[in-house]
Structures are given as structure tokens and as C-alpha cells.
Structure 1
Amino acid sequence: MSTSPPRKLLDPSELGTKEYWEAVYTRELHNNTEDADDEGVIWFDESNAEDTVLKKLASYAEDRGLLDSSQTSFLDLGTGNGHMLFAIREDEDEDGEMRWQGARMVGVDYSPKSVELARQLDAQRREEGGEENEILFEQWDLLGEEPGAWLEGGFDVVLDKGTFDAISLMPNEGAERHPCEVYREKVVPLIKAGRYLLITSCNWTKDELISWLGPRGGALELFDEAKYPTFTFGGQTGQSVVTLIFRRTA
């Protein structure tokens, strides 16, 4: 039985199509092949989202004891060029040591060209930096396929930096349920019980994300929020992006 979405859906856009992202990563792959220093777009770079997420993860490991930095496993949904996982792998603690050394890291994307680009960049970075921790990048469609052997027992941290945004812009094509309504039931099994989904969005507010992912039907509860600088416009105060941390309860 279908249920009504928690709010008005966004209008479909080419940013919600696989063809668009294949074209983007084909271009970025070509650019990197021509110039190894050109690694492509870093999502939400203008909002410093990547560093904000890194600081939040570090606080969970060092200040709150919620994550073991040597054993935490990461899954990056819609990994793109893989830059989020590269940043985690290269993140240093106060002693200059790799904070997440030994952590298992997997990046998945439904775009084959994205995966090709991420693998190419990973090989380049490891060759230049002597890094031993190779990241596994796999082609996978969150909404349409079952997880592969890479799932193992699930992940401590599932990262979504713009993937739910892109899903929000997908054409519905007459399906009974919009992809946004399918997202949560697909993402929950990827997370170990008691562990975390970190989701960053520029399309949805905090309350809207909670309405999509929060207590309806259980499984995910809001656990924490990363803070960004705020702006005021038209008497309203807000952030350009939102990063929420949900915890899997069961």
C-alpha cells in the first residue's frame, strides 16, 4: 500500500539521471588522464562540508568513544570521484598519524565512469603517497540492486554527500513510490545496528530530512547534527547545506 510523501516532491531534473552523471564522469576521467592534478569536483566544497564531516567523525573517535579509529568501516554512497573516502584515509590526528589507518572503506556508485575515475585516482594517490590502504570501489545501484559481497556484516558509517539529493531529482515515471520513499528501506540494511548514517544535503532542510528518514516506521533516529555557518535572508536564518547523523536503532 503506498503512502503519501512527507512533503512536496522536487521537480525532476537531469541531475537525477544516470546519463547526466555518466557524462560528467566521462569528462572528469578524460581531464584526469590529461592532467593528473585535475581530480574533478569536490561536492559542497564551497560549504566546507568535507572538513565538517571529518571533524565530526574525529570527535566520535577521540572525544566520545563512539568509533574505534582502527576498526571503523565506511561506505560512501554515490562516491563520485571518491574524494570523501580519500579525505578520510588521509585525515591525520594531532600526532600527524593517519587517524583511520586500517579502516575498511568501500565506495559505490551506479555510474561505471564514476567507479573508473575513483579507481584511477586511488591508484595515483597511493603511488604518490605510499599509502597501503586501498579503497574498494564498486559499481552498484542502491535503489535497484542487492548489495554485493562487499557488504560483509554492514558498515559502522554510511556516508551520503548529495546522493539523496540526486535521488530527489529522479523522474518518477509513473512508479507507485517515488525513489525518495524507497531510499530509507534500502539504506538501513547497509548500517550495522547502533551505527550511523551521515547525510549531507543542499536540497532539503533538517526537518524535511527527518521527515523522510526519521521515526516513521522506526529503524533510524536522529542522533546528531553538524553545524555550519548560518546566513539570514528575508528575516529567515538558515544554512546552505545540512549534515545530519542518524543512528540505526534495530
Structure 2
Amino acid sequence: MEDTTKLNTSKLGTKQYWDDFYALERQNFRENPEDTGECWFDDSNGEMKMVEFLSDNIGQHSIKQDSSVLDMGTGNGHLLFELIENDFTGKMYGVDYSQESVTFAQEIAKEKGLDDGIVFSQADIFDTAWNPGEFDIVLDKGTLDAVALSGFKVDGDRPITEVYNKVIEKLLKKGGVFLITSCNFTQDELIKIIENDKLKFWHSIHYPVLEFGGVKGSTICSVAFIKE
């Protein structure tokens, strides 16, 4: 049976693409400070669905108002800013492999007066030497989508989708929550990629179901996992 978790490579998976993308976003921001860049999955309300899910589940597992949060592939940092605006007060850490992205997020944080409340850092999440510690909540909004398109191999020949769950496992505290939103993978595919002996499916977020050619589905999916 064909492994549907393997995607064809694309420029969207390259660091150069995102460096160029965020360099342009930074230029637009310098010209207009109200232009804080693109919000991924905004057409499906994905970001707010993630924030609402966490807000609605305060008290469940490790979700608290003061939970520590790591946003992987933070981009312009918008998801973390939205959490703060929804009264999350814990340690916020955004990481991205594009330095242009990190610099852009830092510039927005300074403009918003939040530069003391969030740490943004450039890192390769697949580098075994990278160890920022464990968090109550780890978020992924389109990051697995992007890196899975890179064709990058870990340990010589292992595709990213085979090692991704170990990265999440390293970053989550016991009882911690991992929430991922994807447009390239279905819920079943995400469960196949993420679940292991410690990471278990917990919940999913409902999105409107569309039908095309007799096939029903949603344009994106969001799935939550717990580290046991």
C-alpha cells in the first residue's frame, strides 16, 4: 500500500524560500507597521481555532493560563501574539529555521511592546544538539507541511516524517499537549506520523466539511496529542 505521508519535494520546503519570503514581509512591515504579514490558514480560521481549543480546554492535561508554550516554525510569531491577547501568560518561545522569520517576529514583538514576554530564536529542530527544554504545550501550524516538502533526510536516509514524533517527544513535558494544524496531511496521516509509545491521540478540531467529486473532507485539520 502506498505511503501517503510521503510528499513530493517543493521550493516551499527550502530555507532559502522562507528567508526570501520573510525578507519581503519585513520590508512591507518597515513601510507599514500595521502589516504584520500573512496569517497561515486564515481562510479556514485555523489559528483562532487552535487558540480557542486551548482556551476551551484549560484545566485539561497541561493546559493552563500560565502554560509554557513552544511554537515550532513560528514564522511571524502571530500565533504566540494571539495567545497573549487571549490571556495566556506563560513562557512563550518561538523557533524557526529562517533567521529572517525570527528577526521579523522580534520586530513585531517590539512594535507591540511584547519583546520582554516572548523569546524568538533560530534553530534546526532536527539538530540533536538543540535542546531548549520541555514545554507544557508545543504548537505546529503548517511547519510539518513545509519541512516534509524539503526532501531532507535525517541520519542519512530517514525522511522527516519518520523522526518528527521523536522531536515532539523530546520537547513535551509528561502530560504535555502537542497541537498541530496541517493542510497537506489528513487526520489519519497525522496520527500515523505522530503516535508512538508515548505520544497518543487526544482530540481533533472540527472544521466545515466540503464535498468535491463525491469525496468529503476539510481543507485543513488540527489534531491534539498527549505525552503519556
TM class, shorter-length? over 0.9
Alignment partners' CA distance in 2, 1:177 and 1:225: 28
The aligned residue for residue 209 of structure 1 is 190
Q: 1:100 aligns with which of 69, 73, 88?
A: 88
CA distance 1:66–1:193, change in 2 (3 Å):
closer
Superposed CA RMSD: 2.0
CA distance 1:145–1:118, change in 2 (3 Å):
farther
* Contact residue 15 and residue 21 of structure 1 kept, 8 A: yes
Listed one character per residue, the Cα deviations across residues 38-74 of structure 1 (whole Å, up to 9, x for unaligned) are: 1111010000001101111011116x575221x2110
* Contact residue 109 and residue 115 of structure 2 kept, 8 A: no
- From the CA coordinates, give the structure whose radius of gyration is larger: 1
Q: Secondary structure at 1:40's aligned position in 2? A: coil
Scaled by the length of structure 2, the TM-score of the pair is 0.93
Q: Secondary structure at 1:61's aligned position in 2? A: coil
Q: 5+ residue gaps in structure 1?
A: 92-98
2:58 equivalent to 1:58:
no
2:140 equivalent to 1:160:
yes
Alignment partners' CA distance in 2, 1:173 and 1:107: 24
* Contact residue 6 and residue 212 of structure 1 kept, 8 A: no
2:56 equivalent to 1:73:
no
Q: Secondary structure at 2:54's aligned position in 1? A: helix
Listed one character per residue, the Cα deviations across residues 145-175 of structure 1 (whole Å, up to 9, x for unaligned) are: 5335xx34x1111000000001110124794
Shift of 1:122: 0.3
Instruction: Give the length in aligned residue pairs.
Output: 227
The aligned residue for residue 102 of structure 2 is 115
Alignment partners' CA distance in 1, 2:209 and 2:116: 37
Listed one character per residue, the Cα deviations across residues 8-27 of structure 1 (whole Å, up to 9, x for unaligned) are: 51110000000000000111
2:111 equivalent to 1:124:
yes
Identity of aligned residues (%): 37
Q: Secondary structure at 2:58's aligned position in 1? A: helix
2:183 equivalent to 1:186:
no
Matched letter for residue 32 of structure 1: F
2:216 equivalent to 1:244:
no
2:85 equivalent to 1:90:
yes
Q: 5+ residue gaps in structure 2?
A: none
Q: Secondary structure at 1:209's aligned position in 2? A: helix
Q: Secondary structure at 1:147's aligned position in 2? A: coil
Listed one character per residue, the Cα deviations across residues 90-146 of structure 1 (whole Å, up to 9, x for unaligned) are: 11xxxxxxx213x110000011000000000000011xxxx5862100111111253
Matched letter for residue 101 of structure 2: S
Q: 2:11 aligns with which of 7, 11, 14?
A: 14
Q: 2:20 aligns with which of 12, 20, 23?
A: 23
The aligned residue for residue 143 of structure 1 is 126
* Contact residue 106 and residue 115 of structure 2 kept, 8 A: no
Q: Secondary structure at 1:224's aligned position in 2? A: strand
Alignment partners' CA distance in 1, 2:150 and 2:8: 8
* Contact residue 157 and residue 196 of structure 1 kept, 8 A: yes
Matched letter for residue 113 of structure 1: E
CA distance 1:132–1:211, change in 2 (3 Å):
closer
* Contact residue 77 and residue 159 of structure 1 kept, 8 A: yes
